[in-house]
Amino acid sequence: MLSAYLSAVMAQAQYQMIPEDESVYGEIPGFEGVSAHAESLEECRHDLSESLEEWIFYRVSRDLPLPDVNGQELPIKKAPF
């Protein structure tokens, strides 16, 4: 379930080449604060994926909902204690 959700979200990622320093900037629309800036596209994808994971952990730790993406959802269940 988590892998399918991460894949669906990462498929939404948008990348932009920064000509001034030949770097790459990436972000995921609808996931405020999830972004990365790196020297290569591969490194940017990796960093963006890590940023997404941190964003998810943050929201889960605060019982905040996660958006559905292309029919993929990641429901959060509250602990019984």
Q: Please say whether the beta carbons of 4 and 75 come within 8 A.
A: no
Domain count, the chain: 1
Q: Please say whether the beta carbons of 33 and 55 come within 8 A.
A: yes
E-only strand ranges, the chain: 14-18, 23-27, 35-38
- Mean pLDDT on 17-45: 97
Whole-prediction pTM value?
0.88
Residue recorded with tokens 């988590």: 2
80 pLDDT more than 70 = no
pLDDT attached to residue 79: 64
Strand arrangement of the beta sheet that strand 14-18 belongs to: 14-18, 23-27, 35-38
Assigned domain for 69 exists: no
Q: What is the mean pLDDT of the chain?
A: 92
pLDDT band at 63 (very low <50, low <70, confident <90, very high): confident
Assigned domain for 79 exists: no
Range of the domain at 37: 2-61
Domain with residue 14: its CATH number is 3.30.160.250
81 pLDDT more than 70 = no
